Structure formats: structure tokens, C-alpha cells
Structure 1
Amino acid sequence: MRVFDALGRPSWTFRVGDAIEHLLTDAAGDLWVGYFDEGVYGDDPLSAPGLRHWSGTGESVWVYRPVGGADWISDCYALNVSGHTAWACTYTGFPLLEIGAGHAIRVRKNPVRGVKGLAVHGDRAVLFGGYGEDHDRLVDCRLTDTAVRPVTEGRLLGPGGGRLGRRRLVCRGPRLYVQERPGTEWTVLDIG
């Protein structure tokens, strides 16, 4: 990781591991990093937990460890950071993990597989992605204390009305930011 000052000059560097799938900052400027399977099962112990929280100066703040209802992470498929809360859907079981104050983890059982992105607002979550033909699937869900309850399902289409191809995806709070490749324009889905 390379940190730059307000004038764009490099200030310092630190390592956060290999095979980074997601890297987002929270309201305090700390980093949340989700790793894909090559990092989790690779040679770098920094990546092995699948999900970590780092300070903006490179100190490890928190490392994921299994909790009731959620096993070890093999791949962090989706990550969303909003304020001081992180949300993740992880392979293999795809539980919805909510990591809040003091790194307390709330686990919600989730029937939606292959989730690549998620937007969260109150008791609502929209899950994006899936396997094969479901790569552009949107599932509108309601959250209970222990579960994700799908309500309706549809497709996220590109600005021209066609199905999405290769894309970049960033999730922040109630928003999914989608950029089709190659391209410079972003499409935003806001559930707020």
C-alpha cells in the first residue's frame, strides 16, 4: 500500500497482503481488505484470514476469525463499507457478515449464492451477481436479525438497456457503482 499526502507526494508504504479483491476505506480513513482464494490459500499470512481491517498507517486492527454461523473465508466475494461498518458475502456459504462497533460480527444466513456486490440501507439489502447467467442478477432482500430474505429478483442492465459484460464494481453503503469495461462512465444504483 502506498500512501500519498494532500499534494500527491508518496508519504509511506506498508504491506496488506496478496490477492486483494476489495480495498475500501471507512469513515476514520482505515482500510478494509477482502482477499480472493489465491491469497487465502497462498504463501502470504497477511491474506490468509480472507478479510482484514488495517489502520491508515498500516497497523493490523482486526483479523477475521470464524464465528457461529460463519466458517473460515475461502474468498471474499463482496465487500461494502459504510461509515464504521463493513458488510461482506464470503465463499463458501455466502453468509452476510455485518462487522460493526468493536468488530462485533452479526451473521445472517443468506440463500443467494455467488454474490459479487451488495448495497445496504436500513433493513434492506440488494445483492448483485451470481454464477453463469446470473452474473447481472439483482436480488432485493429484507434483513432480519438472523437472515437475508429475498423479496424480488431482476437484472441490472447497462445504460443502453443491454446486459452487462465485463465490469468493475464498488459498493458503498446504499450504492452499487458499476463501470462496464472498457469505459470511464459509472452507473450508480442507489437503494437509499
Structure 2
Amino acid sequence: MQTSALVPYARLPRTYHDRHVLTSTVDAFGAAHWLLTDRAPEPGADRHPFDALIVSVQDDGGVEVTELSALRARFPYLDRLPDGGFVVASARARRADADADANGRQVQVFDALGRETWSFAVGDAIEHLLADPSGALWVGHFDENPAGIRRWSATGELQWHSGDVPGAGWIMDCYALNVTDSVAWACPYTDFPLLEIRPGRPVRVRANTVRGAKAVAVHEGRVAFFGGYGDEQDRIAYGELTDTTVEPTGVAVLTRPDGTPVGRHRVLARGSRIYVQDEPFTAWAVWDLSG
């Protein structure tokens, strides 16, 4: 089968390689961020808030460091807001879970100096959290929360929710989510339709035969799905958009820049790009559908 290689994108400076990577992301403007602590959390360890460090690598190679105090989420999602602040959220929001306190403050918003300015809850079972260029937060849930896909303001105001989508039904598990400046694309379980979500318009639903993708990239009428079940975890499936369907056009295997298998990884998509980070999670690589 044809292969397609990732391209190196951003790397955590070696100065910080002795820290534990809680999570990492690439924001809406292309900067990469790592959320670091001194050591990995241990089961049954102290559940009190803790300090953390965000190391940001800009697309020009510049490095910024932001110190956060009183962080609550041990297994968090992270993104940067357009004002230079950050949002950190726990994937779980059950009252019995240590990452959500008694007031349900699952999401913490920090300013550019690392000071907490806001907190709120968006619901249990987060699978994706992506901030768009306006600062709105798009949250996709996995199947333990039937909320599907929702859009929130950075102060916790619910702005949109998927609900019962005509032609797709109720969104029970958001497998893939891609957020750009004007549109969100999603691919939910169980039939994996491609959803085109534009604020103020009905959701456009396109039938799709690709199953189990964990990321989707879109560019000028073309689409690429990354991931799948079993031995298709490193698959790239290409397609073209019609008004109502995704028409398959080809398949390839995505590899590391050196041609070796990707292995265990994080993945996220923005616009035409799919970003992949494999162990030890200190570097991001990119694959671009527009290229």
C-alpha cells in the first residue's frame, strides 16, 4: 500500500525533557503547547491542586513559558485562547472523580500570566476540546455522555449543541473533530457521517463509508480521514465531497518522518492539517492535505 510520511513540526526544548508531559496540543494559530509537571500523577496520591508549567513553541521557533497555579485536572485537555490565556479541562466531571470539585469547576481558564480567571463545567466524558480563533470552545464527548458536540464561550455560556441532527440522529460519540475559523467538521459513531457545522445554519450531513477515524482534515472539496479499527490505526483514507456524500478516492498508510510506523500517539486536526505526536510525546509532526 502507498505510504505518506509526516513532516517534523514542533519539538519541546530539551531543557524540559525531565518533566512529565500531562498533555500537549497545537492551537488554532499553529503554536504547539506542552503542559508539564515535575512528575507523573500516582494512583491514590494527594488530590489537592498543584502547580504546572506550559511551554509554548511558536511556528517561528520562539519559546514562551507560562506558570499555572492551583491546577485541578490530573488528566487534562489543553488549548490556548486568542488573548494569550489558556483553558485546561478535566475529561471527567463526575462528582466522585477527583478532577472535578464539589462545585463542578471542571474547566479552568487562565490569563496570559497564568492566573485563573474563570471556571465552569461542560459535562463528563470529554473526547475533544478545541478553541477556535474567536475563543469559543468546541467540546466533543464520548459515549458516556450523550451531549454529542457543544460550543461554549470561554466563560461557560452554552452557544450551540448538536442535539438530534436530521439525517444523522443523536450524536452519541464524537470520534473526530476539526475546528477552524468558520466551520467545525465532525465524524461521529455509529454510521460515521461527515458533519459540516457552521454557526447559524443547519448541520450538513454527508454519508461516509470510512469507519473509526480519529481525525479528519478538509481542504477545497477534499477530505482525509486518519485512523480506524484494528490494523487501520495508521490509515489515511481520501475522499471528495459532494452535496450529500463523501466519495472514496484512495487509501495510504501514514508513517513517521523516517518511514517507520507511527505507534501509540495523540492526534488532532485543524483545517487541512493533521497533527500527530507519538511517544515520548515531546514532538509534533504534521501531515497537510493541502500539500
TM-score scaled by structure 1? 0.92
Q: Higher helix proportion, which one? A: 1
1:23 aligns with 2:97: no
Structure 1, 100-109 or 146-155: larger mean CA deviation: 100-109
Partner of 1:131: 229
Distance in 2 (alpha carbons) for counterparts of 1:190 and 1:116: 16
Task: Tell me, yes or no, if the aligned pair for 2:165 and 2:171 is still in contact at 8 Å.
Answer: no
Q: Which residue of the partner structure matches residue 153 of structure 1?
A: 251
Residue type at the aligned position of 1:16: V
Q: Secondary structure at the match of 2:283?
A: coil
Between 1:167-176 and 1:153-162, the stretch displaced more is: 153-162
* 1:65–1:72 contact (8 Å) kept in structure 2: yes
C-alpha deviation, 1:72, in angstroms = 1.3
Deviates more, 1:61-70 or 1:131-140: 61-70
Moved segments of 4+, more than 4 Å:
none
In the TM superposition, 1:57-68 aligns within 5 A as: 57-68=155-166
In structure 1, the residue matched to 2:28 is: none
User: TM-score of the superposition, structure 2-length normalised?
Assistant: 0.62
2:142 to 28, 32, 36: 36
1:162 counterpart residue number: 260
Q: Which has the larger radius of gyration?
A: 2
Structure 1 runs not aligned, ≥5 long: 41-47
How far 1:74 moved relative to its partner?
2.1
Contact 2:277 2:285 in 1 (8 A): yes
3-state SS of 1:133 partner: helix
Q: Secondary structure at the match of 2:169?
A: coil
- TM-fit CA distance, 1:183: 2.5
1:90 aligned to which of 188, 195, 211: 188
* Alignment: residue pair count: 184
* Correspondence for 1:44: none
State how far apart, in whole Å, the 2-side matches of 1:26 and 1:18 are: 21
Aligned residue identity for 2:115: R
CA distance in 2, matches of 1:103, 1:168: 31
Q: Is the 8 A contact 1:110 1:148 kept in 2?
A: yes
